[in-house]
A and B are shown apart, each in its own frame.
Chain A
Amino acid sequence: MIDFLVAPFGRPYMTRALVEALLLGALCGAVGVYVLLRRLAFLTDAVTHTVFPGVVVGFLVSGRSGIVPGALVCAVAAVALFTAIAATRRVNEDTTLAVLLTAFFAVGVILISRQRSYTADLTAFLFGHILTIDTTDIVVTAVVAVLAGLVLLGLGKELLLRAFDPEWARAAGYRITALDLVSNMLIALVVVASVQAVGTVLVIAMLVVPAAAARLLSERLGVIVAVAVLVGMAGAWLGLATSYEASVGHDVRLAAGATIVLVLVAFYVLVTLGQASRRLVRR
């Protein structure tokens, strides 16, 4: 078992993948708890889709090094737009998000479909390429992780209050829109940091699944954050190891990013089943 968990990561490209996956697991686990508390899964999904054309344009303009800047520009623009829409409260938020995210996504697909390596590029952008991650990508993720840590520690109590009782927060004089802008930007940064490793589509699972599983396991916010971080990291490690073992040992090619997501989902299902059976026993 220990061999299964350790052996694959002797090669440099696997070491880099592991470091990136662990960073992302921790980052997404922590930020995911806030996504869960605010019920922002749909907004997060919208950000992941709107980032897509940014990724494509960045790639077309300056290759791999253009991906993160492109994604960042798009994510920041999208989040500013979403926050402004939510603040006006005049239009139906769901509808607006749905229209915007599909429109952005279609622009991305059209742009990339003009490339010769269409399918390969599309797959990489949608599902990531964690095995070919480079040091720059890891640095980007680490910077975002540090930033997320600072925001969650520094503004933790205000974000908690805003999530729990927004009307009261407003009555106490807090600027809800400003707080929302900060938290939405943070979510956008996490999506951008995850683009290279797990792609724009699978990020949402990295954010939502560990937090949801942790919520099932505890009622205490502090514990939930800790468990979500641990589950995110453990899932990332186990997923990478499984993908490597299947590909190298058994000649079954499992995409690394998707395997990580499936390991996380499997854990979530196990926890759900465990809780359900406990409830049955109690009756």
Chain B
Amino acid sequence: MSRPAAIVFDQASVAYGRVPALEQVHGTVHQGEIVALVGPNGAGKSTLIKALLGLVPVASGSISVLGRPPALARRQVAYVPQADTLDPDFPVSVAQVVLMGRYRRIGWLRPPGRVDRDAAADALAAVGLAHRAADRFGILSGGQRQRVLLARAIAAQPAALLLDEPFNGVDAVSQEALLATIRTLAAGGAAVVVSTHDLGLAQLTCDGICLLNRHQFGFGPPGEVLTPDLLRAAYGGAALELGDRGLIVTRS
């Protein structure tokens, strides 16, 4: 791969206090690449994203984001949380939410300007929701809210994008819109890390897979990582054998 590295994991372990959450992550996400974090519930996918944001400390090894420690790269990294963690009754409009992506660029004490409003409007158009700008965020469907949060991240014009389970409970239209936008962003040079339960989606849309369950089981192209042996090892009891026809992974 000739493209420069954006995110480098070097035998990284992440811990909450003294309790190790995730160990021995090793691999590289290059600019323009989409890498999926895959693994069962509690595997440490969200923890790894928090570590990339500098919200959880790296206990040993190292993580470098855009050549710097994660906490120092935050201004160039945008995060897309799960939409259902946000209060749907909060009186904030879709346009206001997207504009939040510009706050760091605007800086303290200053109101958003024309440039910021335009960037926010473009970002909202990119996820196909320009016509909902004036609506309250909470009245949108789950998938639409997820798209608005992606638009907020895009408005920040990040060099790296981190998404936590963006496809959970999302309708087909929104899933397609999310995927198209993420691909466009990657094509523009952004490094994308996305955690997901959906192995099929990961295989179809991602350039790389990081297979996790408390530690790393594989990091590389989908064809090399999403193999029956590795999946069996990572998922344990949640992997269901189908005789000689292969293996499926249940969500339990």
Chain A 211-245 interface residues, beta-carbon cutoff 8 Å to B: 215, 218-221, 224
A155-B109 in contact (CB<8A): yes
CB distance from B157 to the nearest CB of A (A): 13
Q: Mark B128-149, 1 if CB is under 8 A from A, else 0.
A: 0000000010000000000000
**Residue in B53, B92, B106 whose CB lies within 8 Å of A171:** B53
Q: Say yes or no: A221-B96 contact (C-beta < 8 A), given A158-B103, A171-B74.
A: yes
- Stretch with Cβ within 8 A of B (4 or more), from A115-123, A159-167, A259-267: A159-167
Q: Could you say which residues of chain A place their CB within 8 Å of the CB of B177? A: none
CB within 8 Å of A: which B47-94 residues: 53, 55, 71, 74-75, 77, 79, 81, 85-87, 90-93
Docked-complex contact B79 and A224, CB < 8 angstroms: no
A154 is an interface residue with CB less than 8 A from chain B = yes
Residues of A within 8 A of B156 (CB): 172
Which of chain B's residues have a CB closer than 8 A to the CB of A155? Answer: 108-109
Most central of B92, B111, B136, B156 by chain A CB within 10 Å? B92
Of chain B, the residue at the smallest CB distance from A37 is B90
Which residue of chain A has its CB nearest to the CB of B50?
A171
Residue among A170, A215, A219 having the largest count of chain B Cβ atoms under 10 Å: A219
**Residue of A whose beta carbon sits closest to that of B72:** A173
Interface: A168 (CB within 8 A): yes
Contacts of B239 in A (CB 8 A): none
Residue pair B106, A157 in contact (C-beta under 8 Å): yes
In the assembly, what is the distance between CA of A168 and CA of B137, in Å? 16
CB-defined contacts of A167 to chain B, threshold 8 Å: 55, 81, 85
* A164:B53 contact, CB within 8 angstroms: no
Q: Are A157 and B111 in contact (CB under 8 A)?
A: yes
Q: Are A164 and B97 in contact (CB under 8 A)?
A: yes
Q: How large is the interface on B (under 10, 10 to 19, 20 to 34, 35 or more residues)?
A: 20 to 34
Q: How many A residues have CB within 8 A of the partner chain?
A: 22
What is the CA–CA distance of A221 and B99 in the complex, to the nearest angstrom? 14
CB distance from B239 to the nearest CB of A (A): 32
Query: Do A171 and B103 touch across chains, with their CB atoms under 8 A apart?
Result: no
B112 contacts partner chain A, Cβ-Cβ < 8 Å: yes
CA distance A163 to B92 in the complex (A): 11
Kindly list chain A residues whose C-beta atoms are within 8 Å of the C-beta of B96.
Answer: 160, 221
Bound together, the chains give a CA A138 to CA B136 distance in angstroms of: 38
Q: Contact: B91 with A171, CB < 8 Å?
A: no
The 5 A-B pairs of least Cβ separation, nearest first, read: A173-B74, A171-B79, A171-B53, A219-B136, A154-B109
- 15 A-B contacts, Cβ less than 8 Å apart? A154-B108, A154-B109, A157-B100, A160-B92, A164-B86, A164-B87, A167-B55, A167-B85, A168-B100, A171-B55, A171-B77, A171-B79, A172-B75, A172-B156, A219-B93
What residues of chain B have their CB less than 8 Å away from a CB belonging to chain A?
53, 55, 71, 74-75, 77, 79, 81, 85-87, 90-93, 96-97, 100, 103-104, 106, 108-109, 111-112, 136, 156
B-binding residues in A (CB < 8 A): 37, 154-155, 157-158, 160-161, 163-165, 167-168, 170-173, 215, 218-221, 224
* Known contacts A163-B90, A165-B100, A219-B93; 14 further A-B pairs (Cβ under 8 A): A157-B106, A158-B103, A160-B100, A167-B85, A168-B79, A170-B53, A171-B53, A171-B55, A172-B75, A219-B91, A220-B93, A221-B92, A221-B96, A224-B91
